[in-house]
Homo-oligomer: A and B are copies of this chain.
Amino acid sequence: MSNNEIKKCDSTIIHEDVVNKVKENMPPEESLYNLAELFKVFGDSTRIRILYALSASDMCVCDIAALLDMSQSAISHQLRILKQARLVKYRKEGKVVYYSLDDDHVNQIFAQGLEHVKE
């Protein structure tokens, strides 16, 4: 790297060419924000366990609560978040509401994550 690129860090930048090039290719702010929001949904062990359970079988709220040994209210709140993120869908049968995964990507994202965790 040439010395004339060096500037004081706090005021400007060191490698102006690199920064400019990367900046040009950055996706729109909104895309990365949405991506972070999606991963935020995956970033809670209760929701992860719900998603994993649903990848094994469709289940009603009550069963999920029993499976995870948590209150029905807590599960219902989390299902709402998963629903808003379009990660789960539901069908009603009388009083009972059955939830299931709403997206093929869920399993793939899971798999990729597990690859990293394993080691």
How far does the Cβ of A114 sit from chain B's closest Cβ, in whole Å? 6
Q: Give how many copies assemble into the complex.
A: 2
Please list the residues of chain A having a beta carbon within 8 angstroms of any beta carbon in chain B.
9-10, 12-15, 18-19, 21-23, 25-27, 31-45, 47-49, 52-53, 56-57, 59-60, 62-63, 65-67, 72, 86, 96, 103, 105, 108-110, 112-117
If A52-B32, A112-B105 touch, whether A40 touches B38 (CB-CB below 8 Å) is: no
Chain A contact surface mostly? helix
Q: Is the CB of B110 within 8 A of A116?
A: no
Q: A35 vs B44: C-alpha distance in the bound complex, in angstroms?
A: 9
Given known A-B contacts A22-B53, A27-B52, A57-B18, A43 and B43 have beta carbons under 8 A apart: yes
Cβ-neighbour of A48 out of B10, B35, B47, B65 (below 8 A):
B35
Known: A36-B42, A43-B42. A66 touches B21 (CB 8 A): no
